Amino acid sequence: MKKIINDPAIVVTESLRGLAAAHSDLLRVGYDPNHVVRADAPVNGKVAIISGGGSGHEPMHAGFVGPGMLDAAVPGAVFTSPTPDAVQAAVQATTGAAGALLIVKNYTGDVLNFETAAELAAAEELDVRSVVIDDDVAVADSTFTAGRRGVGGTVLLEKLTGAAAERGARLDEVEALARKVIGQVRSIGVALTAPTVPHVGEPSFDLGADEIEFGIGIHGEPGRERIKAEPADTLVERMISAVAEDLPFGDGDEVLLFTNSMGGTPLIELYLAHGIAERLLAERGIRVTRRLVGPYITSLEMQGISVTLLRMDDELTELWDAPVNTPALRWRM
């Protein structure tokens, strides 16, 4: 294993120290337990948006802390859920009378630990609610989740709820918006190689030189099937069909198309895939009105991509276009 690290046991903490040094204007980092909060937190009168999960998916979640998106992110160890006390620290650092919304990916550890933190917050008379995102169409269940996994749609959910909270929406309104987004976003991912977790030191699974894992999760979990490598046109068509036919998306729909690198796929391939996806959606009568392309939810150095579709309307378009200023996502500030 060759990685730019020191001790695998402290890789997350050392990475957070670098994040704090690079972006002290946007965020601050608390340690023991690790949590990241926006520099001006708590923001008086504002609903706090808090998310988190295992590290190794950077820039999600800590890279999305800042005005217009997350008030706090809680990074666990690599591919490991954060502990309830870390979530509680983030809640205490950001949450006032307006309350907080916890955005939780549908993995058993995340759901349990965030639920525990919400119960601790309630004991302190804070209004803290949670929503669980489960946008992965690849599987109905897996050894890592009870039901569908939370994947690329999480980034879109964090942006949209963050925008609503920034403009002064009440907690009831932000929660309703989150549930609306969760109901109309779908994703699927593929892997060409497996990630190597630092403290494990070897790839999470084995893939032959001519094999692709279709429908993987962001921790390298197995997907629908293992297929032979195929041209980009064929692979992206397979992905678009899986996503579009699930909700389903159809003729006349307007969507946000998010084409994501899993960490090791270069932009030349990512843009190639995105162009194919746009063409295939147009052929189905689905109009792409907003786009996001890049490595925004990764799986360490995994080579692969994911595709996410979100059905849009005027409300979601306005929130997507709203200003955001975070280390990894920023526009119109």
* 199 in catalytic set: no
User: H or E segment at 181?
Assistant: helix 171-183
Residue type, 196: T
User: Could you tell me the end-to-end alpha-carbon distance of the chain, in angstroms, rounded to an integer?
Assistant: 41
* 274 in catalytic set: no
Residue 112: how many CB atoms within 10 A of its CB? 13
Q: How far apart are CA 173 and CA 180, in angstroms?
A: 11
Among 23, 35, 61, 219, the one annotated catalytic: 219
Q: How far apart are CA 258 and CA 310, in angstroms?
A: 8
Q: DSSP letters along 220-282, please? A: ----SEEEE---HHHHHHHHHHHHHTTTT--TT-EEEEEEEE-SS--HHHHHHHHHHHHHHHH
Among 57, 61, 199, 274, the one annotated catalytic: 57
**Contact yes or no for 256/289 (Cβ under 8 A):** yes
Q: Report the catalytic residues.
A: 57, 219
